[in-house]
Amino acid sequence: MQTGSAIPFCLKGKTAIITGGASGIGLAIAQKLARHGAAVHILDLKKEAAAAAAAQIKEAGESADAHACDVSEAKSVEAVFRQLFQAGNVHILVNNSGIAHVGSLTTTSEDDFDRILRVNVKGVYLCTRAIIGHMQANHGGLILNMCSIAATAGLANRFAYSTSKGAVLSMTLSIARDYLHDGIRCNAISPARVHTPFVDGFVAKNYPGRESEMMGKLSAAQPVGRMAEPEEVANLALYLCSDEASFITGENYYLDGGFMNLREIQAS
Of 97, 78, 104, 95, the C-alpha closest to 186 is 95
Of 241, 163, 153, 166, the C-alpha closest to 193 is 153
* 125 given a catalytic annotation: no
Q: Which listed residue (161, 179, 253, 254) is catalytic?
A: 161
Residues taking part in catalysis? 161
